[in-house]
Amino acid sequence: QVQLVESGGGLVQAGGSLRLSCAASGRTFSSYYMGWFRQAPGKERQFVAAINRSSGITYYADSVKGRFTISRDNAKNTVYLQMNSLKPEDTAVYYCAAEWSVGRLRVGNTDYWGQGTQVTVSS
């Protein structure tokens, strides 16, 4: 089992950058695929990015490709989401997630979620 805590959200102007962090408890962090999702008001939660156990493979939603970068540090039990060139439509609560299967993770089929961190991008 793993517990997840996100941080790093905030208010930023369009074109700016933020880096989100997700700290995981437990000694099996490196066994999980890790991902980020977001949910805007009135919308369903959507996949943003995922990374495999060894950081060799990453996955991105088309809407963030080229602007967002997911990374992880297994020694620190932490996964990051570097967000550049932010747009007002990136405004959402961002959630960290963990799962043994990347297929399950990418569709949000997991029991392991953080509490979320708010990202607001002003125009």
54-89, pLDDT tens digit by residue?
878 999 999 999 999 999 999 999 999 999 999 999
The beta-strand segments (E) located in 1-123 are 4-7, 10-13, 18-24, 33-39, 46-51, 58-60, 68-73, 78-83, 92-99, 112-113, 117-122
Mean pLDDT of the 75-104 span: 97
Asked if the model's pLDDT at residue 26 lies above 90, the reply is no
Asked if the model's pLDDT at residue 27 lies above 80, the reply is no
* pLDDT value of residue 68: 98
* pLDDT value of residue 83: 98
